[in-house]
């Protein structure tokens, strides 16, 4: 039986409830997925496995190609998209920031168990690229034991974190308290309708100054920031087993089609594809009788 050629356009998600701090995404035809500028709550590291793509990271824009690793801090806005519809493929690993912080602290790389952004955005080192691919292959292999997968992740990240610690840059300009408080407010009330006028009253900024200043520090306008948080909440609700309709409503989208369109634009997968990957993970993890 021949393989359906459309299957390559579907992203593959790997998760294991016994390793909740890590998940992996594999895309074999990056031409089929295009991202709007967005951010993740997790720290992310991706490997370009074929072709080339454009990597936009905050205010920087560059080209990455097969053999490159891209490193993305939590809540840093980014997008990685095809160049002139040329083929490219990638693997993306999402790591819980608190878990990674604890690992770095245990390794003696942090003075306090508090997250510190990593200044390096691109690693072009064949050794770490090949080791990354080996780790990903281990995670995707259903025949590998849980202990092997746990060891593969810890060993790889421990080695990489030691190298990155030696390249630590000066800290970025701190976010003004008033903007940090506004961002925290948008985090807490992401599902609510918050007008620009209300944001201006809370910050004391004019609308134009607020949009410009907020975007300079968070790389998104306040409204785009809130939409990004809604999609993150929608992902969380889908992971909890909620239906697409419930996830849309809980995350602040009263219109399910709007949720589906926005989810696809940010995640480069439909809510159903994301949800089906969760269901298939549960089947794989179920004990054999």
pLDDT tens-digit series, residues 206-224: 999 999 999 888 889 999 9
What pLDDT is attached to residue 289? 41
- Return the H-helix or E-strand segment holding 12: strand 12-14
- Whether the CB-CB separation of 55 and 62 falls below 8 Å is answered with yes
Dist CA 217 CA 203 (whole Å)? 14
Inter-CA distances, 273 with 123, 127, 253, Å:
30, 33, 19
pLDDT per residue rounded down to tens, the chain (289 residues):
334 444 445 678 899 989 999 999 998 887 776 678 899 999 999 999 999 988 999 888 899 999 999 999 999 999 888 787 788 899 999 999 999 999 999 999 999 999 999 989 999 999 999 999 999 999 999 999 999 999 999 999 999 999 998 877 555 678 899 999 999 999 999 999 999 999 999 999 999 999 999 988 888 999 999 999 999 999 999 988 899 999 999 999 988 999 999 998 888 788 988 887 765 554 444 444 4
Cα angle 156-157-163, degrees, rounded to a multiple of 5: 100
Separation between Cα atoms, residue 193 and residue 186, nearest integer Å: 10
Q: What is the 3-state secondary structure (H, E, C) of 92-115?
A: EEEECHHHHHHHHHHCCCCCCCCC
| Token output for 229 | 């948080």
Count Cα atoms within 13 angstroms, Cβ side, for 187: 10
- Which SS3 state, helix, strand or coil, does residue 69 take? strand
Q: Angle at which helices 196-203 and 177-188 pack, to 10 degrees? A: 140
Query: What domains lie within the chain, and their CATH numbers?
Result: 5-165 (2.60.120.10), 177-280 (1.10.10.60)
């Amino acid at each position: 039986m021949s393989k359906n050629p459309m299957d390559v356009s579907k992203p593959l998600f790997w998760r294991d409830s016994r390793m909740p701090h890590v998940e992996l995404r594999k895309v074999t035809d990056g031409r089929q997925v295009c991202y709007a500028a967005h951010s993740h709550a997790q720290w992310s590291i991706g490997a370009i496995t074929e072709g080339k793509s454009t990597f936009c990271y905050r205010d920087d824009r560059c080209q990455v190609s097969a053999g490159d690793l891209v490193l993305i801090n939590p809540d840093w806005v980014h997008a990685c998209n095809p160049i002139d519809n040329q083929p490219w493929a990638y693997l993306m690993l999402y790591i819980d920031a608190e878990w990674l912080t604890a690992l770095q602290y245990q390794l003696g790389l942090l003075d306090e168990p508090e997250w510190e952004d990593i200044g390096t955005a691109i690693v072009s080192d064949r050794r770490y690229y090949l080791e990354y691919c080996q780790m990903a292959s281990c995670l995707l292999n259903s025949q590998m034991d849980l202990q092997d997968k746990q060891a593969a992740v810890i060993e790889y990240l421990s080695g990489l974190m030691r190298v990155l610690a030696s390249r630590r840059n000066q800290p970025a300009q701190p976010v003004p308290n008033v903007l940090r408080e506004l961002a925290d407010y948008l985090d807490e009330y992401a599902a609510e309708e918050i007008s620009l006028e209300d944001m201006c009253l809370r910050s004391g900024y004019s609308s134009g100054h607020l949009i410009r200043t907020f975007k300079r520090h968070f790389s998104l306008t306040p409204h785009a920031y809130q939409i990004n948080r809604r999609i993150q909440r929608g992902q969380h609700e889908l992971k909890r087993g909620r239906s697409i309709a419930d996830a849309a409503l809980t995350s602040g989208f009263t219109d399910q089609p709007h949720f589906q369109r926005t989810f696809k634009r940010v995640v480069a997968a439909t809510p159903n594809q994301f949800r089906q990957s969760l269901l298939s993970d549960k089947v794989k993890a179920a004990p054999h009788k």
